[in-house]
């Protein structure tokens, strides 16, 4: 059986005719079914996958490949509409809803590139938690911790685990407060959160539309570049690999290192030293806007909570509320206290803080800090202590939500290990709509950040 690898290495096998897409699809389903953790997926799209694999096989044999992704497997966080399949958003509330009648445009974009949709991955219910715990479908185990059951991170939990466990080469997730970058960091893979609006959002169940963005979880930045191109309809990537000597990084000294585990800081700083030795320019600076994001939430409430409450208000007021994870209900109901004037004040301040942050950056400068202040914690204490759950969730989301609020794009790259040998993520971010430059820099820096160069 073929070992699941990167998109790039699988593409070599498929394009050369050494691996037929039908065989690859069959092996993928066998691997998923043989996996001891059956909480990674909420549903498989077997008939669709075999149909798409057969079509890819026929094209390749006729010399009509659609490109490098043709015939390769992809899985989707359970927020994306796949025609003929029910989108449950990690909840039992939607389980008996009619299936989607059409693919979400971003699903259609990867299908047009020849990718084979294998199934739907588990997630935090309604995407409203950074931990990945789901009481309805189970919580996927973090593959980086074979002995202790540790959280995978969320909300794109199953997406990260499906890739980290070697079941598929790529998964597509959503990121509203860190939901791609957090599980990528916790499981030791790459997670790219695109600028909000880079891809079509129709057919993707929302959490907070002012913050929601999408992105791939995969093994390498190169794979993220390939997936990104296909997701917005390009037939091939246009990203240019940056020159290391041209890279400039600023490390924020505000918020992101507060109460961070020493091992996480050590892994991050070791990566920074390697980058400096390779010629990357690095400076450190205070970012008052980072602290202001949290001051604003303390004064007016959180933007994500306001919009999530507006979305789910009627659901929470009716009998369906009893079928929703009580922790999700508790957190969403906090939005009831946020007034319209609060909401407008948040949006006004957000525009100002985005502008201030961008003005504080040097020409072409990228922002770097640990993706998370801690490694993935064991799940058991979080299940038995609500206070610990909410405290851990807030800390887990802290570093990444800054990027959502300030409209950054960002990519989390593994940079070493922390406590208990668990993965640590290095988050590289850029202002909105600078995705191509960010990905070009990440391509150049990835091996050094990982300590492989």
Cis amide prior to 155 (ω within 30 degrees): yes
The tens digit of pLDDT for each residue in 184-222 reads 999 999 999 999 999 999 999 999 999 999 999 999 999
pLDDT band at 311 (very low <50, low <70, confident <90, very high): very high
> Which among 124, 129, 159, 179 is annotated as catalytic?
179
**Residue 453's pLDDT is what?**
75
**Mean of the per-residue pLDDT values for the chain?**
97
Task: Point out the catalytic residue in the list 77, 124, 289, 412.
Answer: 77
Give pLDDT, residue 349: 98
Residue tagged active-site, from 124, 155, 210, 289: 155
Cα–Cα distances (Å) from 439 to 7, 218, 366, in that order, read: 17, 14, 11
pLDDT in the model for residue 149 = 98
Active site residue 77: yes
CB atoms near residue 269 (< 10 Å): 15
Q: What is the mean pLDDT of residues 50-78?
A: 97
| Predicted TM-score (pTM) of this structure | 0.97
CA–CA gap between residue 218 and residue 156 (Å, rounded): 12
Give burial (CB, 10 Å; 0-12/13-18/19+) of 305. Answer: buried
Count of beta carbons in the 10 Å neighbourhood of residue 381: 11
Reply yes or no on whether the pLDDT at 2 is more than 70: no
The total of other beta-carbon atoms located within 10 Å of residue 419's CB is 14
Helix residue spans in 137-215 (DSSP H): 157-164, 181-187
- As given in the structure block, the two tokens for residue 446 are 């990835």
Q: Are 265 and 382 in contact (CB under 8 A)?
A: no
Map tokens 């993706």 to a residue. Answer: 371
Three-class SS string for 56-114?
HHHHHHCCCCCCCCCCCEEEEECCECCCCCCCCCCCCCCCCCCCCCCCCHHHHHHHHCC
The answer to whether residue 391 is catalytic is no
Cβ of 311: how many Cβ atoms within 10 Å?
Answer: 18
């Amino acid at each position: 059986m073929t070992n699941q690898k990167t998109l790039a290495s699988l593409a070599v096998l498929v394009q050369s005719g050494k691996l037929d897409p039908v065989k690859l699809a069959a092996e993928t389903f066998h691997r998923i079914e043989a996996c001891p953790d059956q909480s990674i997926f909420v549903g498989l799209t077997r008939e669709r996958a075999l149909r798409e694999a057969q079509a890819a096989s026929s094209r390749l044999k006729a010399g009509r490949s659609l490109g490098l992704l043709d015939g390769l497997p992809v899985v989707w966080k359970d927020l994306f509409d796949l025609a003929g399949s029910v989108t449950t958003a990690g909840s039992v509330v939607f389980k008996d809803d009619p299936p989607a009648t059409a693919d979400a445009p971003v699903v259609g974009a990867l299908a047009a590139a020849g990718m084979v949709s294998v199934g739907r991955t588990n997630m935090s219910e309604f995407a409203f938690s950074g931990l990945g715990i789901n009481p309805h479908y189970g919580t996927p185990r973090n593959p980086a911790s074979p002995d202790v059951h540790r959280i995978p991170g969320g909300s794109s939990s199953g997406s990260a685990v499906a890739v980290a466990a070697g079941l598929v080469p790529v998964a597509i997730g959503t990121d509203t407060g860190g939901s791609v970058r957090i599980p990528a960091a916790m499981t030791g893979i790459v997670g790219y959160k695109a600028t909000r609006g880079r891809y079509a959002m129709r057919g993707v169940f929302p959490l907070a539309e002012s913050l929601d963005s999408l992105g791939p979880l995969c093994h390498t930045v190169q794979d993220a570049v390939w997936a990104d191109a296909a997701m917005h309809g390009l037939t091939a990537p246009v990203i240019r690999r940056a020159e290391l000597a041209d890279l400039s990084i600023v490390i924020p000294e505000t918020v992101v290192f507060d109460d961070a585990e020493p091992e996480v800081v050590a892994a991050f700083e070791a990566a920074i030293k390697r980058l400096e030795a390779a010629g990357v320019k690095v400076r450190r600076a205070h970012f008052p806007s980072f602290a202001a994001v949290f001051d604003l939430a303390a004064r007016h409430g959180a933007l994500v909570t306001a919009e999530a409450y507006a979305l789910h208000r009627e659901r929470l007021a009716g009998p369906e509320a009893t079928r929703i994870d009580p922790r999700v209900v508790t957190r969403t109901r906090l939005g009831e206290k946020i007034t319209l004037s609060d909401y407008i004040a948040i949006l006004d301040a957000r525009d100002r803080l985005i502008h201030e942050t961008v003005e504080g950056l040097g020409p072409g400068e990228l922002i770097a800090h640990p993706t998370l202040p801690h490694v993935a914690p064991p799940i058991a204490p979080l299940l038995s202590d609500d206070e610990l759950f909410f405290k851990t969730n807030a800390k887990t989301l802290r570093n990444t939500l800054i990027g959502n609020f300030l409209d950054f794009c960002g990519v989390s790259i593994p940079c070493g290990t922390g406590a208990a040998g668990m993965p640590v993520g290095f988050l590289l971010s850029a202002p909105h709509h600078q995705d191509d430059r960010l990905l070009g820099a990440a391509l150049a820096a990835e091996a050094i950040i990982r300590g492989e160069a």
